[in-house]
């Protein structure tokens, strides 16, 4: 098996630290990380996206980053998810759905980029139910939680409207992985375009408590080209997911103290 890169290991450590002390989350994360079928889907998705199509990272690292950011957003929001509101389970069950949906959201690219959000629900449904079956014994609850995971995968592109808070968070989190680390490989192997130049301009994305809203996304940029990425990816997904009332987005150009307001 291909050796994991350093960034893969780093984000896995961060995820493990984030879920520590939550037994169901720890178990689900461990099963996701160890599952070779899932890893195969993610590696194939990256081969399709980067090598064959010249896009940016859609593989294991991106899935892990999206999952980490999604859990950060959840913790900062302080809202009751659909799982709790609809009496499917508790807050940890909501986070299980968020973790799995974000982790797996781009697996459908292993088949095709076009409509990959639909293909992702198909190629992952069985393994999602298998993993949930090792944590939950109630088949009724497994079916409902698995459906929420599938919703997160299906709706992350905005082509289908997410209705649960969990899926809306996953779609938003997908748009936060916009730093130069995600674009560096395809930039060198493919043709340059505004998406790659824009991503290469973003040094870091910070997710923290907002000033006027619960959550704040801060982009640290080398040059103003990063604004394109912020508007076309981060802002668009936040708006599509109807999360704009909870999230503020600002960008800082290196050397300047005054932020550029995106949302």
* % of the chain with per-residue pLDDT over 90: 76
Q: Give pLDDT tens digits for 18-73.
A: 999 999 999 999 999 999 999 999 999 999 988 898 777 788 999 999 999 999 99
Q: What is the pLDDT of residue 182?
A: 58
Judge whether 57 and 50 are in contact, CB under 8 Å: yes
Confidence of residue 188 (pLDDT cuts 50, 70, 90): very low
Q: What is the pLDDT of residue 253?
A: 93
The pair of structure tokens assigned to 196 is 């790659």
Q: For residues 132 and 169, give the distance between their C-alpha atoms in angstroms, rounded to a whole number.
A: 20
Judge whether 193 and 225 are in contact, CB under 8 Å: no
Sign for the CA dihedral angle at 123, 126, 131, 132 comes to positive
Q: For residues 122 and 185, give the distance between their C-alpha atoms in angstroms, rounded to a whole number.
A: 28
Find the angle CA(83)-CA(19)-CA(246) to the nearest 5 degrees.
55
Q: What is the pLDDT of residue 228?
A: 86
What's the residue count for the chain?
263
**CA 14 from centroid of its chain's CA atoms:** 14
Q: What is the pLDDT of residue 2?
A: 37
Q: For residues 163 and 166, give the distance between their C-alpha atoms in angstroms, rounded to a whole number.
A: 9
| Residue indicated by tokens 């064959």 | 52
Q: Are strands 215-221 and 247-253 parallel, antiparallel or unpaired?
A: parallel
Q: Of 183, 188, 185, which Cα lies nearest the Cα of 203?
A: 183
Q: What is the pLDDT of residue 44?
A: 96
Q: Tell me the average pLDDT across 200-218.
A: 94
Q: Which residue has the higher pLDDT, 92 or 199?
A: 92
The domains spanning 6-174 and 180-261 adopt the same CATH topology: no
The pair of structure tokens assigned to 101 is 């949906």
Q: For residues 110 and 44, give the distance between their C-alpha atoms in angstroms, rounded to a whole number.
A: 5
Q: What is the pLDDT of residue 184?
A: 46
Q: Whole-number mean pLDDT of the chain?
A: 90
CATH class of 6-174: mainly alpha
Sign for the CA dihedral angle at 39, 44, 49, 54 comes to positive
Q: What is the pLDDT of residue 196?
A: 61
Q: What is the pLDDT of residue 191?
A: 55
6 has pLDDT over 50: no
Q: Tell me the average pLDDT across 126-139.
A: 98
Confidence of residue 1 (pLDDT cuts 50, 70, 90): very low
Q: Where are the domains of the chain?
A: 6-174, 180-261
Q: Of 145, 178, 167, 151, which Cα lies nearest the Cα of 241?
A: 167
Q: Tell me the average pLDDT across 132-146.
A: 98
Q: What is the pLDDT of residue 27?
A: 98
Residue 219 has phi, psi (to 5 degrees) of -105, 130
Structure letter (DSSP) for residue 175 = T
Question: Can you list the alpha helix ranges (DSSP code H) found in 57-203?
Answer: 60-77, 82-85, 91-104, 116-133, 139-155, 165-174, 180-189, 194-200
Q: Tell me the average pLDDT across 89-98.
A: 98
Sign for the CA dihedral angle at 100, 103, 106, 111 comes to negative
Q: For residues 224 and 202, give the distance between their C-alpha atoms in angstroms, rounded to a whole number.
A: 9
5 has pLDDT over 90: no
Q: What is the pLDDT of residue 7?
A: 56
Q: What is the pLDDT of residue 54?
A: 76
CATH architecture entry for 180-261: 2-Layer Sandwich (3.30)
């Amino acid at each position: 098996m291909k050796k994991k890169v350093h960034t893969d290991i780093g984000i896995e450590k961060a995820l493990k630290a984030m879920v520590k002390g939550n037994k169901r989350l720890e178990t689900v994360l461990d099963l996701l990380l160890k599952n070779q079928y899932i890893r195969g889907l993610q590696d194939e998705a990256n081969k399709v996206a980067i090598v064959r199509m010249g896009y940016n990272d859609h593989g294991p690292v991106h899935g892990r980053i999206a999952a980490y950011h999604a859990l950060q957003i959840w913790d900062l929001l302080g809202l009751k998810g659909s799982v709790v509101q609809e009496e499917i389970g508790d807050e940890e069950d909501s986070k299980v759905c968020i973790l799995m949906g974000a982790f797996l959201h781009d697996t459908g690219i292993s088949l095709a980029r076009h409509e990959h959000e639909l293909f992702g629900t198909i190629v992952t449904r069985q393994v999602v139910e298998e993993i949930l079956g090792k944590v939950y014994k109630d088949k009724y609850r497994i079916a409902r939680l698995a459906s929420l995971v599938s919703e997160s995968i299906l709706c992350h592109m905005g082509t289908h409207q997410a209705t649960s808070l969990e899926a809306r968070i996953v779609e938003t989190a997908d748009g936060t992985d916009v730093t130069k680390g995600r674009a560096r490989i395809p930039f060198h192997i493919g043709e340059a375009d505004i998406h790659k130049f824009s991503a290469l301009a973003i040094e870091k994305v910070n997710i923290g408590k907002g000033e006027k809203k619960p959550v704040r996304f801060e982009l640290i940029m080398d040059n103003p080209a990063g604004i394109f990425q912020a508007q076309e990816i981060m802002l668009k997904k936040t708006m599509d997911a109807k999360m704009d009332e909870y999230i503020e987005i600002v960008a800082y150009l290196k050397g300047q103290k005054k932020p550029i307001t995106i949302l």
